[in-house]
Chains A and B, each alone.
Chain A
Amino acid sequence: MNNTNCLLCLSGIHFDIGSNNVTLHCHCEIPHGRLIGVLGPNGCGKSSLFKALVGEIPYSGEISYFGKSFADVREQVGYLPQHIEIPFDFPISVEEFIAVGSPHYFKFKWPWQKRNDSEKVRDIMAKLAIEHLARAQLSELSGGEQRRVYLGRLLMQDSKLFFLDEPLAGVDEQGEELIVKIWRELVDQGKTVLVVHHDLETVKEIFDEVLVFKHNHIEHFSVDKGSLGSPYKELLTA
């Protein structure tokens, strides 16, 4: 399994979550430039797979990125965890938080050297309709606003691949439309977005493809080829 045309290839992934050992039987070849829904019941390993991919939990199995080791590109992946575990009383403004996503942010600079990311930060805040919150503290934001700000930090990263774990949780309808539009823009730029999603009613209108987790298997379906009348629903409910 070393397909150099395939953005992400997964084969036989195994990881430990606490005292549970989970083996996911899969052979998925995920192409680039697609918006992919990740579906499955609670506890089936969706979030754990994302955590394993970004290096937060150890795993065994094959994961390659354009035929190369995924570990080499891990730092460039945009990852939104399901539970945002940052202290929201930390003194940091929204624009400062988004700027952290910049690719140069962790490179050494002398104190008198400026980072020149402010224009990009402003563009991203405009895109997410949060310009008015630029000076606000994270602690002053609602849950939905925090999700948008977090997405803003990911957009600063210039990643080619995004793993978003339930990014629409707590987001209102208007915010949901805006966020889905941004995902679509990323995909149009050739980027790939994988999203853990639970609302089966909206799967078809949002995603190009889906990965369905069921009984330790991952099935990969394309939505737009019409192969998905509703087999993924059957897989989920069977």
Chain B
Amino acid sequence: MIEWLIAPWIYPFMRAAFTMIILLGLLGGMAGTIVVTQRTALQVESLAHALLPGLILAYLWMGRSTWSLMLGGVFAVILTRLLSFAFSLHQRTDHTTGSAIVIGFNFSLGLLLLSLYRNELPISLDHFILGDLLAVSATDNGFAAIVVMMLFILLILFYSPVKVFLFDASYAARRGWPHLFTRIVLEVVISIATILSFQAVGLVLTLALMIIPAATAQLIAKHLWQMFLLGGILGALEGITGLVIAYHMDLPSTPPIIMISVAVYTLLLLQQRLYSKI
């Protein structure tokens, strides 16, 4: 069993992938907790879809690098925010419908750009859809590690007001807490987590990687700090297990991770349902 677990770690590209999935697990647990408690999963999904046109434009302009990833991310955030703002001006289009429209538009724009510039792009549609966890570099891991550390420190320093903001933002605003600034900081955190996840696991599974561990943690957490911590630990453990399985069964890296996350969530949910009936 130990050998089975250790075997993939002998390859440098697998060690880089494990490092990234642990960091994404920790990041997803923390950022996912913000998304789950704020109920903004659809907004994250629309952002992930906006990354498709954003990254295509950035790759065309700057080639493939960490900076082009960031530039694509900035474009995606601006595009998504502008569209969401435009829809929010009309009160008859609710938040969910607006996000669904933005998702469709972003994805269509991405596909259009992809077919127009197919020959000039260094990567294919598969890369955008499924990501490429096995291609992450030491620079990518270093950047992800810095983001995880910064978010961890931010959450420790501002845990109390962030907690109030997450469950009752209008109360926090009434008490004089800077509402807009906090919202911007949290959006930046979620955007960076989305961009990093997108690069590793692709458009379709970014949201799942971020929110399933946090949703699982919410089933058992009694305090928000437990949800942050447990979400991060679960995300990292599920990532490692999924990647080991993918390695041994010669599967794409992300689907086993998500399947394990969903299995853990479902088992815990069933256990709680059964427990509540006894």
Chain A residues close to B by CB (< 8 Å):
18, 54-56, 74-75, 77, 79, 85-87, 89-93, 96, 100, 105-106, 108-111, 135, 137
Bound-complex Cα distance A90 to B227 (A) = 10
Taken residue by residue from 168 to 184, chain B's Cβ proximity to chain A (1 for < 8 Å, 0 otherwise) reads as 10111111110000000
Do A91 and B175 have beta carbons less than 8 Å apart?
A: no
- Which residues on B sit within 8 Å (CB–CB) of A91? 218, 221-224, 226-227
A-binding residues in B (CB < 8 A): 37, 39, 91, 156-157, 159-161, 163-164, 166-168, 170-177, 218, 221-224, 226-227
Indicate if the CB atoms of A90 and B176 lie closer than 8 Å.
Answer: no
B243 to chain A, nearest CB (A): 29
Chain B residue nearest in CB terms to A136: B222
A6 to B224, CA, bound (A): 42
Q: Which residues of B contact A110 (CB under 8 A)?
A: 157
Chain A residue contacts of B160, Cβ below 8 A: 100, 105-106, 109
Q: How far is the CB of B30 from chain A (nearest CB, A)?
A: 14
Let me know if A111 and B157 touch, CB within 8 A: yes
Q: Which of B157, B173, B222 has the most CB of A within 10 A?
A: B222
Task: Check A92–B174 contact: CB distance below 8 A.
Answer: no
Distance between A236 CB and nearest chain B CB, rounded to angstroms: 30
Contact flag A92-B175 (CB < 8 Å), given A18-B91, A105-B160, A111-B157: no
CA distance A220 to B189 in the complex (A): 50
Partner of A92, one of B91, B167, B171, B176: B167
Across the interface, name the chain A residue whose C-beta is closest to B164.
A100
C-alpha gap A111/B155 in the complex (Å) = 10
A103 vs chain B, min Cβ distance (A): 9
Q: How far is the CB of A69 from chain B (nearest CB, A)?
A: 15
Which B residues are CB-close (under 8 A) to A96?
223
Q: How far is the CA of A154 from the CA of B37 in the complex (A)?
A: 23
- Give how many A-B residue pairs fall within 8 Å (CB-CB): 62
Pick from A18, A75, A86, A109: contact of B167, CB below 8 A.
A86
Compute how far the CA of A187 lies from the CA of B61 in the bound complex, rounded to whole angstroms.
67
Q: Which of A54, A105, A137 has the most CB of B within 10 A?
A: A105
Q: Which residues of A contact B227 (CB under 8 A)?
A: 91
Task: Please judge, given known A-B contacts A92-B163, A106-B161, whether A137 and B174 are in contact too, CB under 8 Å.
Answer: no
For A18, the closest partner residue in chain B by CB is B91
For A56, what are the chain B residues with a Cβ–Cβ distance below 8 Å? 170, 174
Q: Which residues of B contact A74 (CB under 8 A)?
A: 174
Contacts of B176 in A (CB 8 A): 75, 106
Q: B159 to chain A: closest CB distance in Å?
A: 8
- Known contacts being A90-B167, A91-B223, is A55 close to B174, with CB within 8 Å? yes
Q: Which residue of B lies closest to A81 (CB)?
A: B170
Given A79-B174, A93-B222, A111-B156, 6 more A-B residue pairs with CB atoms under 8 Å apart are A90-B37, A91-B227, A93-B223, A96-B223, A106-B176, A137-B222
Q: Are B37 and A87 in contact (CB under 8 A)?
A: yes
Closest to A110 in B: B157
Closest Cβ of chain B: how far from A17's Cβ, in Å? 12
CB distance from A137 to the nearest CB of B (A): 7
Q: In the complex, are the beta carbons of B37 and A92 less than 8 A apart?
A: no
Q: List 30 A-B pairs, Cβ < 8 Å.
A: A18-B91, A54-B174, A55-B173, A55-B174, A56-B174, A75-B174, A75-B176, A86-B168, A86-B171, A87-B37, A89-B218, A90-B37, A90-B224, A91-B221, A91-B223, A91-B224, A92-B167, A93-B223, A100-B164, A100-B171, A105-B175, A106-B160, A106-B164, A106-B172, A106-B175, A106-B176, A109-B160, A111-B156, A111-B157, A137-B222
